[in-house]
Structure 1
Amino acid sequence: LNDIDVSFNENKDKRARIVNHCYASDEYRKIRMTYYDAGDSVQVFNSVWYPDAKYNLPVLGIDLLSFNRKRYLAIVDFQPLHESEQDHATTYEHILKPIKDKYDNLKGRMSSKFYDETQFFSKEMLFARFEDGKIVYDDLFPAFKSYVQTHLDLLKATPPASNPEDIQFVFERQRAYDTYSADRDPAAGLFAAMFGKEWAEGS
């Protein structure tokens, strides 16, 4: 992994800080990890793993949130670039299903308040709202690790494209995913209020 960007900001008055790391590798053109820490009141970990555009594969998206250590929200998914799973270089939902099937607590459905789950979300998304902190350790963490490892394994097993037009098309679909997510990200307003709009949009 090559470290391509690190940023940090802090709001001392509100006792909140945020750190953003971006990495790149031969397999992934960008791995972004953002951690927001406002003490026990709010903890947010967001990460997006973009395969190099020569791999026509879904983006790995991760959102883990804790509120007052009493309410938790978790989303982990192979976020498709195309409406049909078959339009990717290889199918993957059948690989994720046995993992998800192990964890009944992670089979929730997301609200349509911010996102349309028919766009850029798979049928095997891990989604959970819960209040029992034990679920973090018993279900969420092992499932999260399995999804991350499976994404890496899938990428390594997929032959890279060589046609420049195919590669450019995948890159454009990743850009479309970025635009969709940025327009609907519920955390954007929080980060802008804490650290300023310019920093929030630039991160």
Structure 2
Amino acid sequence: MSWLWKRFLDHAKSRMTERLALTSYPIPAGFEQKRAMTGPRSRRSEVTTTSWAVKAPAIRQARAACVEAEGPPHVLNFVINPDHHYDLPFFGADLVSLPGGHLIALDLQPVLKRDASHTAPVWKRLQPVFERWRSRLPDGGPIPQEAEPYFSKGFLWTRLPLDDETSLETTVFPAFVDYLEIYLDLVCEARPVQGDRSDALLAGQRRYTDYRAEKDPARGMLTRFYGSDWTEAYIHGFLFDLESAQTSSQSGLP
């Protein structure tokens, strides 16, 4: 079985390459690819986690964590982290296939949710796209109250049966395409900000990445596959690396 989310990541790479001036983003040693054997002794199978990352003007880091096994899980966690000198949201796509079904989450996540000057221009573009695709997918259910500050009104969240490949093809993929295209439009149109605004954006980004690093739902799965030490290093040193990246930048490290 091929990796379920390959088409999604291939599309994202292609559109970003076409529209942005991408350069490589350093992936710490040991995180590029990780393999392990999982499952009961009678049915052992290999699971592989592969990482990809780039950067561009207005984008501090765009990265993907890809988990692939012979059966579920198949996971694509794709996040675009904006440079805090640009008034941009995050792009977030969590595409997860587990034995119990598919979990799909797409959003242009606000850095400053209570700031209308930050959220209104995004919602104006996202609202018709969100309403189009939301009407074709079942609601995924409530999210934790503590997570609400980190999602927009356009948060597309659904659960699908494992055998529903039709919805993945006809609804989830085009929704992913639309959300990403809106985000790339915003990036291409963004202009630098400075001073207090840049500081506020950086503080908002830190709140989000700190929350995600603490509450990352993949922690249990990754720990089961690769152990706690590697998992914690991967979460803080690659998936949500804003703090370590800022520390490196301030100390003059590459």
Paired position in structure 2 for 1:39? 70
Distance 2:90 2:141 in 1: 18
Q: Distance in 2 between matches of 1:143 and 1:82?
A: 24
The letter for the 1-side match of 2:158 is A
Match of 2:165 in 1: 133
Out of 15, 18, 21, the residue aligned to residue 52 of structure 2 is 21
1:183 partner letter:
E
Tell me which amino acid in the other structure corresponds to 1:91. Answer: P
Distance (Å, rounded) in 2 between the aligned partners of 1:54 and 1:89: 16
Aligned to 1:93: 123
Moved more, 168-177 or 137-146: 168-177
2:192 to 140, 160, 166: 160
Distance change (3 Å), C-alpha of 1:76 and 1:89: closer
The CA deviation string for residues 148-195 of structure 1, in whole angstroms up to 9 with x for no partner, is: 1101101222221133x4223312211110111122221111101211
Question: How far 1:57 moved relative to its partner?
Answer: 1.7
Cα distance in 2 between the residues matched to 1:122 and 1:90: 10
RMSD over aligned CA atoms reads 2.0
Change (3 A) 1:106 1:155: farther
Residue type matched to 1:108 in 2?
D
TM-score (structure 1 length as normaliser): 0.89
SS at match of 2:79: strand
Distance change >3 Å, CA 178–CA 197, structure 1 → 2 = same
Aligned residue for 1:101, secondary structure, equals helix
Q: CA deviation at 1:13?
A: 4.7
Write the distance in 2 (CA, Å) between the matches of 1:175 and 1:106: 32
Find the aligned partners of 2:171 and 2:70 in 1 and give their Cα distance.
23
Stretches of structure 1 lacking an aligned partner (at least 5 in a row): none
Report the more deviating stretch, 39-48 or 10-19: 10-19
Aligned residues: 200
Which residue in the other structure is 1:11 paired with? 36
Please give the alpha-carbon distance, in whole angstroms, between the structure 2 residues aligned to 1:170 and 1:187. 26
Match of 2:177 among 145, 170, 179: 145
Cα contact 2:113–2:152 (8 A) shared by 1: no
Higher helix residue share: 2
Matched with 1:194 is: 225
**What is the CA distance between 1:109 and its match in structure 2?**
4.4
Higher Rg of the two aligned structures: 2
Structure whose residues are more often strand by fraction: 1
CA contact (8 A) 1:23 1:31 kept: yes
Change (3 A) 1:89 1:72: closer
**Which secondary structure does the structure 2 equivalent of 1:23 belong to?**
strand
